[in-house]
Structure 1
């Protein structure tokens, strides 16, 4: 299986197109409602441009389907893709809301949902994966505290904010998934704080640009997640797992191994990376390779629509916690939230 139908031709679709090539596969056909964008990406990949998403998915040269469109279109396209019977990878999040995520999983059933690969690519970052594997192997004994920091170099355009679903559903969704994969226990409560201190206009648009979430796991592990839409020193992505026997840390890679030792700059290291593809480019490629392997073998996807639903559940709890100014007690993925 080497041919992939790519639905979408925006920034994330271009990231995935490069990763498809790096993984030894190829983009067979492309669809995007903006024809110029589809044609531009097709020229770079040698793919055929389809007139509709359905046409792209049905192309005989496409053995699998990748959806890399805006969050609010994922569910409709996913339902169409699942009906083809071809393996499907969808960029995160599963949907633009928790309710839409629930409806999608209910519509296709849990078994089929486990066959849908969801693009939480940070699981495949080498440092992050090493922390998860170390925790699961008991290298630090009982996990007591998990701290996840995610800060972007600069905020997205303001026009993106209203259609993003909000910081918890769009940005922190990666960290909710990462916390679940490392802790391996259900979360029992969520407490969120947030503010729009980088740009007050973000607040007027109904979102926050600076946030923290504290979650309590069933076994007593405390999870702290820190997010910011702006970081003056680069793309700040760290995970710290602290336990009874020590600590595991996935730190920020740097632009080089250079360190200056002078009177003016004693022990000054090279800056951290500034662009998400510099940090996570290899993990996108690993994600594609794993998707192809699982699809060939008919296995459940290691990160799938069920994981997407659970991350959406935590994001919805955080959104509700912020709106109500209180801790939200979690009762299960069928929980109803009132704003």
Structure 2
């Protein structure tokens, strides 16, 4: 049994609490949030204890793991404190908005030898992971091109976006990780373009809402990522892998598979899932199970801290390319 402390009692923290509580191999012991009423409400719901400080958690030797679901600007602090206290860590992405802070964090914890997993949950999506498996098994020969579609159902409030780090670090960082996961390679060149087609006021904070990124791997494979902050038909998350001997596609699951045909339309389907929690519910559960299994079996966790850092470096390169209008070369 793995004893967890949850840091963060917001929307995604609440989801994580539910998953921990439903796992036969885990127990939710503590909930921390700077907004105490939220921590108390969530802790009460799952028979855990709400605490006023993280130190109360770190000083409890019975706690095996921290699940960090607080705001991004606190991740590094809690990772360092947790690692130094010998706690295993599952942290939501990104590690931080600054790659330099991520590197500094690693320098402080690299000798702690505690398991650290970064929350790139899409690796655990059943269709995405099956595409990866078939590709690895040679199902379409040699991969030549990868296309990743990433579209949110609606744009976040400007108040949030002002502090999000920009579309590449906040949203597309998931897709940079999927690029690395599926190709098994690193980026050699990144070129990004973007526009404010949805919320023109984003230009005032140096951000965009619509992007296209092209990436070349070290072996010459090509990847295209298209992202949008608003998609009127739901949460659109698809992957297409084109190879020397065929094509693989990971499409969107739907709330149900019923199709309807009438005099006015044929094979009408349900709309897509409304947002990431519904779309990736299975992936979040599988992510947690993978983390728990790694702790029990004392095997390496994945995605690792290094995976989080490398996705961050790609986000930085995309931002630099967007600003300069030129491709960015990565070593």
State the TM-score, normalized to the length of structure 1. 0.94
- State which drifts further: 129-138 or 119-128: 129-138
CA distance in 2, matches of 1:112, 1:94: 18
Query: Are residues 1:15 and 2:29 paired?
Result: no
CA distance in 2, matches of 1:328, 1:163: 24
CA distance in 2, matches of 1:230, 1:158: 14
Alignment length (residue pairs): 330
2:156 is matched with 156
**Residues 150 and 221 of structure 1: CA distance in aligned 2, closer, same or farther (over 3 Å):** same
Q: Which runs of 4+ in 1 moved over 4 A?
A: none
RMSD, aligned α-carbons: 1.4
2:44 is matched with 43
Query: Are residues 1:147 and 2:142 paired?
Result: no
- CA drift at 1:221: 0.9
**Partner of 2:208: helix, strand, or coil?**
coil
**Residues 257 and 152 of structure 1: CA distance in aligned 2, closer, same or farther (over 3 Å):** same
Query: Are residues 1:254 and 2:254 paired?
Result: yes
CA distance in 2, matches of 1:228, 1:23: 34
**Partner of 1:225: helix, strand, or coil?**
strand
CA distance in 2, matches of 1:104, 1:193: 31
- State which drifts further: 42-51 or 321-330: 42-51
- State which drifts further: 66-75 or 294-303: 294-303
1:296 is matched with 296
Contact 1:7–1:68 (Cα < 8 Å) also in 2? yes
Residues 290-327 of structure 1 deviation map (CA, whole Å, 9 limit, x = unaligned): 11111122221121100000000100000111111110
**Residues 28 and 104 of structure 1: CA distance in aligned 2, closer, same or farther (over 3 Å):** same
- State which drifts further: 304-313 or 265-274: 265-274
1:241 is matched with 241
- CA drift at 1:9: 1.0
- CA drift at 1:86: 1.8
- CA drift at 1:60: 4.0
Contact 1:191–1:214 (Cα < 8 Å) also in 2? yes
| Gap runs ≥5 in structure 1 | 332-339
**Partner of 2:163: helix, strand, or coil?**
helix
1:92 is matched with 93
Contact 1:23–1:286 (Cα < 8 Å) also in 2? no
CA distance in 2, matches of 1:7, 1:134: 37
- State which drifts further: 238-247 or 13-22: 13-22
**Partner of 1:164: helix, strand, or coil?**
coil
- CA drift at 1:111: 8.1
- CA drift at 1:261: 2.2
State the TM-score, normalized to the length of structure 2. 0.96
Residues 213-232 of structure 1 deviation map (CA, whole Å, 9 limit, x = unaligned): 11000111101111111000
CA distance in 2, matches of 1:159, 1:23: 35
| Gap runs ≥5 in structure 2 | none
2:311 is matched with 311
